[in-house]
Amino acid sequence: MNAPLIPPAGARLLRTVSIAGTGAYIPEKVLTNADLARLVQTTDEWIVSRTGMKERHMARPDEAASDMGAAAARQALAAAGLAPTEVGLIICASITPDMPFPSTACFVQRLLGATNAYGFDITAACSGFIYAAEVAKNAIATGSVDTALIIGAERLTGAVDWEDRTTCVLFGDGAGAAVLRAQGAPHGIRSSILGSDGRLAELLMLPGGGSRHPTSLETIQQRLHYMKMSGREVFKHAVTKMIEAAQTALQRAGLTIDDVDVIIPHQANLRIVEAIGQRLGAPKEKYFINIEKYGNISAASVPVALDEAVRAGRIKKGDTVLLIAFGGGFTWGSMVVEWDRD
Protein backbone atom coordinates (compact mmCIF):
# COMPACT_ATOMS: atom_id res chain seq x y z
CA MET A 1 0.00 0.00 0.00
CA ASN A 2 1.28 3.44 -0.87
CA ALA A 3 -1.32 5.55 0.91
CA PRO A 4 -0.02 9.05 1.48
CA LEU A 5 1.09 10.09 4.93
CA ILE A 6 -0.47 13.25 6.30
CA PRO A 7 0.80 15.24 9.26
CA PRO A 8 -1.48 14.97 12.33
CA ALA A 9 -1.71 17.43 15.21
CA GLY A 10 1.23 15.68 16.91
CA ALA A 11 4.72 15.02 15.65
CA ARG A 12 4.16 11.62 14.02
CA LEU A 13 2.90 10.98 10.54
CA LEU A 14 -0.40 9.12 10.40
CA ARG A 15 -2.42 7.74 7.52
CA THR A 16 -6.10 8.50 7.04
CA VAL A 17 -8.33 5.46 7.41
CA SER A 18 -11.48 4.79 5.40
CA ILE A 19 -14.33 2.33 5.59
CA ALA A 20 -13.78 0.45 2.34
CA GLY A 21 -16.71 -1.98 2.55
CA THR A 22 -19.51 -3.17 4.82
CA GLY A 23 -21.51 -6.37 5.18
CA ALA A 24 -24.18 -7.97 7.33
CA TYR A 25 -25.71 -11.32 8.09
CA ILE A 26 -29.05 -11.88 9.76
CA PRO A 27 -30.29 -15.42 10.45
CA GLU A 28 -33.47 -16.46 8.71
CA LYS A 29 -35.71 -17.44 11.60
CA VAL A 30 -37.98 -14.62 12.76
CA LEU A 31 -39.31 -14.28 16.28
CA THR A 32 -42.29 -11.92 16.42
CA ASN A 33 -43.77 -10.15 19.41
CA ALA A 34 -46.71 -12.56 19.13
CA ASP A 35 -44.28 -15.50 19.44
CA LEU A 36 -42.86 -13.94 22.62
CA ALA A 37 -46.32 -13.36 24.04
CA ARG A 38 -46.74 -17.16 23.93
CA LEU A 39 -43.57 -17.59 26.01
CA VAL A 40 -43.82 -14.87 28.68
CA GLN A 41 -46.39 -12.42 30.07
CA THR A 42 -46.09 -9.70 27.46
CA THR A 43 -47.98 -8.13 24.57
CA ASP A 44 -47.16 -6.78 21.14
CA GLU A 45 -48.53 -3.43 22.30
CA TRP A 46 -46.14 -3.29 25.32
CA ILE A 47 -43.07 -4.24 23.30
CA VAL A 48 -43.79 -1.86 20.41
CA SER A 49 -44.71 1.10 22.60
CA ARG A 50 -41.80 0.62 25.07
CA THR A 51 -39.07 -0.36 22.61
CA GLY A 52 -40.11 0.06 18.96
CA MET A 53 -39.31 -3.63 18.34
CA LYS A 54 -41.59 -5.85 16.25
CA GLU A 55 -39.35 -8.75 15.32
CA ARG A 56 -35.92 -10.14 16.01
CA HIS A 57 -34.04 -13.00 14.34
CA MET A 58 -32.76 -16.18 15.88
CA ALA A 59 -29.70 -18.17 14.82
CA ARG A 60 -29.99 -21.86 14.00
CA PRO A 61 -28.75 -24.20 16.75
CA ASP A 62 -25.63 -24.93 14.68
CA GLU A 63 -24.88 -21.23 14.02
CA ALA A 64 -22.34 -19.56 16.31
CA ALA A 65 -21.10 -15.97 16.40
CA SER A 66 -18.15 -16.80 14.13
CA ASP A 67 -20.40 -18.34 11.45
CA MET A 68 -22.51 -15.19 11.32
CA GLY A 69 -19.43 -12.96 11.59
CA ALA A 70 -17.72 -14.74 8.70
CA ALA A 71 -20.84 -14.37 6.52
CA ALA A 72 -20.95 -10.63 7.21
CA ALA A 73 -17.18 -10.37 6.65
CA ARG A 74 -17.40 -12.05 3.23
CA GLN A 75 -19.89 -9.39 2.15
CA ALA A 76 -17.72 -6.59 3.51
CA LEU A 77 -14.65 -7.94 1.70
CA ALA A 78 -16.62 -8.30 -1.55
CA ALA A 79 -17.84 -4.69 -1.19
CA ALA A 80 -14.24 -3.57 -0.69
CA GLY A 81 -13.05 -5.70 -3.63
CA LEU A 82 -10.52 -7.54 -1.45
CA ALA A 83 -9.53 -11.16 -0.90
CA PRO A 84 -9.38 -12.60 2.64
CA THR A 85 -5.61 -12.99 2.28
CA GLU A 86 -5.27 -9.21 1.99
CA VAL A 87 -6.52 -8.71 5.56
CA GLY A 88 -3.83 -7.98 8.15
CA LEU A 89 -5.96 -7.73 11.27
CA ILE A 90 -9.32 -9.19 12.37
CA ILE A 91 -11.08 -7.81 15.43
CA CYS A 92 -14.32 -9.39 16.52
CA ALA A 93 -16.54 -7.61 19.03
CA SER A 94 -18.91 -9.94 20.85
CA ILE A 95 -20.42 -10.69 24.24
CA THR A 96 -21.56 -14.05 22.93
CA PRO A 97 -18.31 -15.50 21.55
CA ASP A 98 -18.20 -19.06 20.22
CA MET A 99 -16.39 -20.03 23.46
CA PRO A 100 -14.13 -18.37 26.06
CA PHE A 101 -11.15 -19.26 23.88
CA PRO A 102 -9.95 -19.41 21.17
CA SER A 103 -11.21 -16.02 20.11
CA THR A 104 -14.13 -15.72 17.73
CA ALA A 105 -11.78 -13.69 15.51
CA CYS A 106 -9.57 -16.79 15.11
CA PHE A 107 -12.58 -18.88 14.12
CA VAL A 108 -13.60 -16.20 11.61
CA GLN A 109 -10.04 -16.18 10.28
CA ARG A 110 -10.24 -19.94 9.75
CA LEU A 111 -13.63 -19.74 8.03
CA LEU A 112 -12.42 -17.01 5.69
CA GLY A 113 -8.94 -18.37 5.01
CA ALA A 114 -7.51 -15.01 6.05
CA THR A 115 -4.11 -16.57 6.57
CA ASN A 116 -2.11 -13.32 6.67
CA ALA A 117 -4.05 -11.74 9.53
CA TYR A 118 -3.72 -11.77 13.28
CA GLY A 119 -6.95 -11.64 15.23
CA PHE A 120 -8.46 -11.09 18.64
CA ASP A 121 -11.77 -10.28 20.32
CA ILE A 122 -13.02 -7.19 22.07
CA THR A 123 -15.60 -7.25 24.85
CA ALA A 124 -17.32 -3.91 25.04
CA ALA A 125 -20.94 -5.10 24.77
CA CYS A 126 -23.07 -2.91 22.51
CA SER A 127 -20.20 -0.43 22.01
CA GLY A 128 -17.97 -3.23 20.73
CA PHE A 129 -18.01 -2.32 17.05
CA ILE A 130 -16.93 1.28 17.68
CA TYR A 131 -14.22 0.02 20.06
CA ALA A 132 -13.03 -2.36 17.33
CA ALA A 133 -13.11 0.43 14.75
CA GLU A 134 -10.98 2.67 16.96
CA VAL A 135 -8.35 -0.01 17.60
CA ALA A 136 -8.23 -0.99 13.92
CA LYS A 137 -8.07 2.64 12.82
CA ASN A 138 -5.06 3.24 15.04
CA ALA A 139 -3.29 0.10 13.78
CA ILE A 140 -3.77 1.26 10.19
CA ALA A 141 -3.04 4.93 10.82
CA THR A 142 0.33 4.10 12.36
CA GLY A 143 1.22 1.75 9.51
CA SER A 144 1.14 -1.44 11.58
CA VAL A 145 -1.34 -3.03 9.13
CA ASP A 146 -2.90 -1.84 5.87
CA THR A 147 -6.26 -3.58 6.01
CA ALA A 148 -8.42 -4.58 8.97
CA LEU A 149 -11.65 -6.49 9.18
CA ILE A 150 -13.85 -5.49 12.09
CA ILE A 151 -16.87 -7.51 13.06
CA GLY A 152 -19.72 -7.33 15.55
CA ALA A 153 -21.30 -10.77 15.91
CA GLU A 154 -23.86 -11.84 18.49
CA ARG A 155 -25.98 -14.84 19.33
CA LEU A 156 -27.90 -13.22 22.15
CA THR A 157 -30.85 -15.60 22.01
CA GLY A 158 -28.55 -18.06 23.77
CA ALA A 159 -27.70 -15.54 26.52
CA VAL A 160 -31.14 -14.29 27.57
CA ASP A 161 -33.35 -15.88 30.19
CA TRP A 162 -36.48 -17.00 28.37
CA GLU A 163 -38.36 -16.79 31.68
CA ASP A 164 -37.44 -13.11 32.20
CA ARG A 165 -39.80 -10.89 30.21
CA THR A 166 -37.79 -7.76 31.06
CA THR A 167 -34.87 -8.95 28.91
CA CYS A 168 -35.88 -11.80 26.59
CA VAL A 169 -38.09 -9.61 24.40
CA LEU A 170 -35.26 -7.17 23.66
CA PHE A 171 -32.47 -9.12 22.02
CA GLY A 172 -31.76 -10.90 18.74
CA ASP A 173 -28.97 -12.47 16.69
CA GLY A 174 -26.90 -11.23 13.76
CA ALA A 175 -23.57 -9.90 12.59
CA GLY A 176 -22.18 -6.86 10.82
CA ALA A 177 -18.71 -6.20 9.45
CA ALA A 178 -16.59 -3.49 7.90
CA VAL A 179 -13.24 -3.37 6.13
CA LEU A 180 -11.00 -0.50 7.21
CA ARG A 181 -8.17 0.61 4.95
CA ALA A 182 -5.63 3.29 4.31
CA GLN A 183 -6.62 4.36 0.83
CA GLY A 184 -5.46 7.94 0.70
CA ALA A 185 -8.84 9.64 1.25
CA PRO A 186 -8.59 13.18 2.62
CA HIS A 187 -10.56 12.42 5.78
CA GLY A 188 -12.06 8.93 6.27
CA ILE A 189 -12.56 8.40 9.99
CA ARG A 190 -12.38 11.97 11.22
CA SER A 191 -12.67 11.56 14.97
CA SER A 192 -13.73 9.24 17.73
CA ILE A 193 -14.28 9.01 21.45
CA LEU A 194 -14.52 5.96 23.67
CA GLY A 195 -15.42 5.77 27.35
CA SER A 196 -16.24 3.30 30.08
CA ASP A 197 -17.33 3.25 33.71
CA GLY A 198 -16.84 -0.03 35.54
CA ARG A 199 -18.51 1.33 38.67
CA LEU A 200 -21.83 0.66 36.96
CA ALA A 201 -21.02 -2.88 35.84
CA GLU A 202 -23.77 -4.52 37.91
CA LEU A 203 -26.53 -2.75 36.01
CA LEU A 204 -25.98 -4.91 32.93
CA MET A 205 -24.05 -8.15 33.03
CA LEU A 206 -23.94 -11.88 32.45
CA PRO A 207 -22.40 -13.00 35.74
CA GLY A 208 -21.89 -16.75 35.31
CA GLY A 209 -19.39 -18.86 33.41
CA GLY A 210 -16.29 -16.73 34.00
CA SER A 211 -13.65 -16.86 36.74
CA ARG A 212 -15.91 -14.99 39.21
CA HIS A 213 -18.63 -17.63 39.03
CA PRO A 214 -17.27 -20.65 37.17
CA THR A 215 -20.05 -22.78 35.74
CA SER A 216 -21.42 -25.24 38.25
CA LEU A 217 -24.75 -26.83 38.98
CA GLU A 218 -25.31 -24.05 41.51
CA THR A 219 -24.63 -21.19 39.06
CA ILE A 220 -26.99 -22.79 36.58
CA GLN A 221 -29.70 -23.26 39.20
CA GLN A 222 -29.25 -19.58 40.10
CA ARG A 223 -29.57 -18.75 36.39
CA LEU A 224 -26.28 -16.84 36.48
CA HIS A 225 -25.56 -17.94 32.90
CA TYR A 226 -28.21 -15.50 31.68
CA MET A 227 -28.03 -11.76 31.15
CA LYS A 228 -29.22 -9.49 34.00
CA MET A 229 -30.25 -5.91 33.38
CA SER A 230 -31.68 -2.98 35.36
CA GLY A 231 -33.46 -1.61 32.31
CA ARG A 232 -34.63 1.73 33.67
CA GLU A 233 -31.17 2.65 35.00
CA VAL A 234 -29.46 1.50 31.81
CA PHE A 235 -31.88 3.63 29.79
CA LYS A 236 -30.97 6.83 31.68
CA HIS A 237 -27.23 6.31 31.40
CA ALA A 238 -27.50 5.32 27.74
CA VAL A 239 -29.21 8.60 26.83
CA THR A 240 -26.74 10.77 28.75
CA LYS A 241 -23.58 9.03 27.58
CA MET A 242 -24.61 8.67 23.94
CA ILE A 243 -25.33 12.40 23.76
CA GLU A 244 -22.02 13.31 25.45
CA ALA A 245 -20.07 10.92 23.22
CA ALA A 246 -21.64 12.24 20.02
CA GLN A 247 -21.01 15.85 21.03
CA THR A 248 -17.37 15.13 21.87
CA ALA A 249 -16.76 13.23 18.62
CA LEU A 250 -18.26 16.10 16.63
CA GLN A 251 -16.21 18.66 18.53
CA ARG A 252 -13.02 16.66 17.87
CA ALA A 253 -13.87 16.61 14.17
CA GLY A 254 -14.48 20.38 14.20
CA LEU A 255 -18.10 19.77 13.11
CA THR A 256 -21.58 20.41 14.46
CA ILE A 257 -24.67 18.22 14.29
CA ASP A 258 -25.83 20.26 11.28
CA ASP A 259 -22.83 18.95 9.31
CA VAL A 260 -23.95 15.35 9.84
CA ASP A 261 -25.93 13.66 7.06
CA VAL A 262 -26.72 10.29 8.64
CA ILE A 263 -26.70 9.16 12.28
CA ILE A 264 -26.31 5.45 13.06
CA PRO A 265 -27.21 4.96 16.71
CA HIS A 266 -27.00 1.70 18.60
CA GLN A 267 -30.49 0.23 18.30
CA ALA A 268 -31.42 -0.69 21.89
CA ASN A 269 -34.70 1.16 22.25
CA LEU A 270 -36.50 3.56 19.92
CA ARG A 271 -37.25 5.80 22.90
CA ILE A 272 -33.50 6.10 23.60
CA VAL A 273 -32.93 7.21 20.00
CA GLU A 274 -35.81 9.70 20.22
CA ALA A 275 -34.46 11.14 23.48
CA ILE A 276 -30.99 11.51 21.95
CA GLY A 277 -32.47 13.05 18.81
CA GLN A 278 -34.25 15.76 20.74
CA ARG A 279 -31.21 16.72 22.79
CA LEU A 280 -28.67 16.56 19.95
CA GLY A 281 -30.92 18.73 17.81
CA ALA A 282 -30.93 16.54 14.69
CA PRO A 283 -34.17 15.96 12.79
CA LYS A 284 -35.38 12.38 12.97
CA GLU A 285 -34.89 11.91 9.22
CA LYS A 286 -31.14 11.85 9.89
CA TYR A 287 -31.39 8.74 12.08
CA PHE A 288 -31.18 5.33 10.46
CA ILE A 289 -33.44 2.99 12.40
CA ASN A 290 -33.94 -0.75 11.91
CA ILE A 291 -34.79 -1.76 15.48
CA GLU A 292 -38.28 -2.91 14.46
CA LYS A 293 -36.74 -5.79 12.47
CA TYR A 294 -33.85 -6.97 14.62
CA GLY A 295 -34.27 -5.78 18.22
CA ASN A 296 -31.02 -5.18 20.07
CA ILE A 297 -28.17 -7.15 18.48
CA SER A 298 -25.51 -5.58 20.71
CA ALA A 299 -22.12 -5.30 18.96
CA ALA A 300 -23.77 -6.18 15.64
CA SER A 301 -26.27 -3.34 15.90
CA VAL A 302 -24.16 -0.46 14.54
CA PRO A 303 -22.47 -2.37 11.69
CA VAL A 304 -25.73 -3.99 10.53
CA ALA A 305 -27.45 -0.59 10.47
CA LEU A 306 -24.44 0.97 8.73
CA ASP A 307 -24.46 -1.72 6.05
CA GLU A 308 -28.21 -1.38 5.50
CA ALA A 309 -27.94 2.39 5.25
CA VAL A 310 -25.16 2.07 2.66
CA ARG A 311 -26.99 -0.55 0.59
CA ALA A 312 -30.25 1.44 0.75
CA GLY A 313 -28.46 4.49 -0.66
CA ARG A 314 -29.04 6.47 2.54
CA ILE A 315 -25.27 7.01 2.83
CA LYS A 316 -23.60 8.48 -0.24
CA LYS A 317 -20.07 9.51 -1.15
CA GLY A 318 -19.13 12.71 0.67
CA ASP A 319 -21.67 12.21 3.47
CA THR A 320 -20.70 12.71 7.07
CA VAL A 321 -21.83 9.77 9.20
CA LEU A 322 -22.07 9.79 12.99
CA LEU A 323 -21.93 6.44 14.83
CA ILE A 324 -23.03 6.33 18.49
CA ALA A 325 -23.19 3.38 20.89
CA PHE A 326 -23.62 2.48 24.55
CA GLY A 327 -23.50 -0.84 26.35
CA GLY A 328 -22.68 -2.97 29.37
CA GLY A 329 -19.55 -2.14 31.30
CA PHE A 330 -20.72 0.58 31.01
CA THR A 331 -19.04 1.40 27.72
CA TRP A 332 -19.80 4.04 25.13
CA GLY A 333 -18.34 5.43 21.95
CA SER A 334 -18.93 7.68 18.99
CA MET A 335 -17.16 8.09 15.67
CA VAL A 336 -17.42 10.63 12.84
CA VAL A 337 -16.75 9.18 9.38
CA GLU A 338 -16.59 10.91 6.06
CA TRP A 339 -17.96 8.42 3.53
CA ASP A 340 -15.49 8.27 0.65
CA ARG A 341 -16.79 5.49 -1.53
CA ASP A 342 -19.68 5.21 -4.01
Ligand X SMILES: CC(C)(COP(=O)(O)OP(=O)(O)OC[C@H]1O[C@@H](n2cnc3c(N)ncnc32)[C@H](O)[C@@H]1OP(=O)(O)O)[C@@H](O)C(=O)NCCC(=O)NCCS
Q: From the candidates 57, 106, 266, 290, which is the catalytic residue?
A: 266
What is the contact mask toward ligand X in residues 278 to 317, using x (rule: CB under 6 A)? ------------------x---------------------
What distances in angstroms separate CA 227 from CA 6, 18, 174, 254, one per listed residue? 45, 35, 17, 39
- 213 catalytic? Reply is no
* 269 touching ligand X, by CB under 6 A: yes
Cis peptide before 129 (omega within 30 of 0): no
Q: How far apart are the first and last CA of the chain?
A: 21
* Site for ligand X, residues 56 to 115, rule: CB under 6 A: none
- Touching ligand X, residues 6-25 (CB under 6 A): none
Answer whether 22's CB lies under 8 Å from 177's CB. yes
50 is a site residue for ligand X (CB under 6 A):
yes
Residue 57 is a catalytic residue: no
Partners of 188 in the β-ladder = 17
Q: Which stretch binds ligand X (CB under 6 A): 55-63, 154-162, 234-242, 254-262?
A: 234-242
Question: Is residue 54 a contact point for ligand X (CB under 6 A)?
Answer: no
The distance of closest approach from Cβ of residue 274 to ligand X in the complex, given in angstroms and rounded to an integer, is 12
Q: Which is nearer to ligand X, 42 or 116 (CB)?
A: 42
The DSSP 8-state label assigned to residue 330 in this structure reads: T
Task: Tell me: does residue 234 bind ligand X (CB under 6 A).
Answer: yes
CA 133, CA 6: separation in Å to the nearest integer? 20
Distance CA 55, CA 235 (A): 20
**Phi, psi for 301 (deg, rounded to 5):** -60, -55
Q: Is 169 in the site for ligand X (CB under 6 A)?
A: yes
What is the spatial distance between Cα 76 and Cα 197, in angstroms, rounded to a whole number? 32
Is 231 among the residues that bind ligand X (CB under 6 A)?
A: yes
Report how many residues bind ligand X under the rule CB under 6 A: 21
> What residues pair up with 268 in beta bridges, in sequence order?
none
Q: How far is the CB of 226 from ligand X (least distance, A)?
A: 14
Beta strands 55-58 and 29-32: pairing type?
antiparallel
Q: Which of 92, 106, 126, 168 is catalytic?
A: 126
Specify whether 138 is catalytic: no
What CA dihedral angle connects 337, 70, 332 and 163, to 10 degrees?
A: 140
User: How far apart are alpha carbons 15 and 184 in whole angstroms?
Assistant: 7
Question: Which of 165, 223, 286, 341 forms a contact with ligand X (CB under 6 A)?
Answer: 165
Rank residues 76 and 325 by Cβ distance to ligand X and give the closer one: 325
Q: Note whether 225 binds ligand X by CB under 6 A.
A: no
SS3 124: coil
Site string for ligand X, 237-256 (x = CB under 6 A): -x------------------
Rounded Cα distance between 100 and 1, Å, is 35
**Is residue 232 a contact point for ligand X (CB under 6 A)?**
yes
Number of other CB atoms surrounding residue 161 within 10 Å: 16
Taking CB under 6 A as the binding criterion, the range among 5-13, 67-75, 264-272, 331-339 that sits at the site for ligand X is 264-272
Q: Interface residues with ligand X (CB under 6 A)?
A: 42, 46, 50-51, 126, 165-166, 169, 204, 229, 231-232, 234-235, 238, 266, 268-269, 296, 326-327
For the annotated catalytic residues, the residue numbers are 126, 266, 296
